[in-house]
Amino acid sequence: MEETKASNQKTEELKEKIVKALKTVFDPEIPVDIYELGLIYEINVYPVNNVYVLMTLTSPSCPAAESIPSEAEMAIKEVEGVNDVQIELTFDPPYTMEMMSESAKLELGFM
């Protein structure tokens, strides 16, 4: 039981570091990071610290469609303890401005 609790805590700590890394990646057209924009749908840490991230873009025709997922992958790979990273891009559900955090909405003047 203690081992599972310690393992869960380590996973949560690693997830926090991954979120911090994702907050260094920005959509070049918007001065807000991809995490606060709501582009990250899911972060999973699997055994041996393999990381899976399900994300989207602000639109399927986003000019940064090639660069944002690869920048996210590189940022996560730099996190100490991460073994491997898989980024999956989805447009289901489609991105809407409601997915932004309160701070992103404030930063962009939507509040």
What is the tens place of the pLDDT at every residue in 70-101?
999 999 999 999 999 999 999 999 999 899 99
Provide, rounded to the nearest whole percent, the portion of the chain with pLDDT above 90. Answer: 70
Q: Would the pLDDT of 3 be above 70?
A: no
**pLDDT category of residue 27 using cuts at 50, 70 and 90:** confident
Q: What is the 3-state secondary structure (H, E, C) of 81-95?
A: CCCEEEEEECCCCCC
Q: Would the pLDDT of 66 be above 90?
A: no
Selecting from 3.40.47.10, 3.30.300.130, 3.40.50.720, 1.10.10.60, what CATH number does the domain 2-107 have? 3.30.300.130
Residue in 44, 17, 35, 34 with CA at minimum distance from that of residue 68: 34
Alpha-carbon span 49 to 83, nearest angstrom: 5
* Total count of residues recorded for the chain: 111
Domain assignments of the chain as residue spans, ordered by start: 2-107
Partnered with residue 51 across adjacent β-strands are: 45, 85
Which residue in this structure is represented by tokens 């924009």? Answer: 37
Residue 22, amino acid: L
Q: Would the pLDDT of 1 be above 60?
A: no
